[in-house]
């Protein structure tokens, strides 16, 4: 199953937030569900690029897990 993240971006015409899948915003042409104005993918490309950067950073964090806790250095059993 393909994981399709849903994101919410504001329509440049009516300022309604549109909650759709990433690929929806990447379509060459789509229509705002609120005001039915035509939306070109270029209108969202900068926002999407930022979102994808954020998502990549989040995934990296998930993969790397918790940052390693630094050793207190006080006990010999601590650092093993
Ligand atoms: Zn709209």
Which residues sit with Cβ closer than 5 angstroms to ligand 1, an ion?
Answer: 11, 13-14, 32, 34-35
User: For residue 2, what pLDDT band results from cuts at 50, 70 and 90?
Assistant: low
Buried b (16+ CB within 10 A) or exposed e, 35-69: eeeebeeebbeeebeebeeeeeeeeeeeeeeeeee
* pLDDT of residue 72 exceeding 80: no
Position 29 scores a pLDDT of 94
- Report the alpha-carbon distance of residue 39 to residue 51 in Å, rounded: 18
Distance 50 CA to ligand 1 centre (A): 21
Each residue of 3-52: pLDDT tens digit? Answer: 788 999 999 999 999 999 999 999 999 999 999 999 999 999 999 999 88
Answer whether 26's CB lies under 8 Å from 8's CB: no
On the 0-12 / 13-18 / 19+ scale of CB atoms within 10 A, 9 is middle
Distance 30 CA to ligand 1 centre (A): 11
């Amino acid at each position: 199953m393909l994981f399709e993240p849903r994101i919410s971006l504001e329509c440049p015409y009516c300022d309604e937030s549109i909650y759709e899948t990433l690929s929806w915003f990447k379509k060459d042409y789509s229509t705002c569900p609120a005001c039915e104005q035509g939306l070109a993918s270029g209108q969202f490309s900068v926002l999407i690029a930022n979102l994808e950067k954020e998502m990549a950073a989040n995934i990296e964090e998930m993969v790397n897990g918790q940052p390693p806790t630094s050793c207190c250095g006080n006990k010999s059993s601590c650092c093993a």
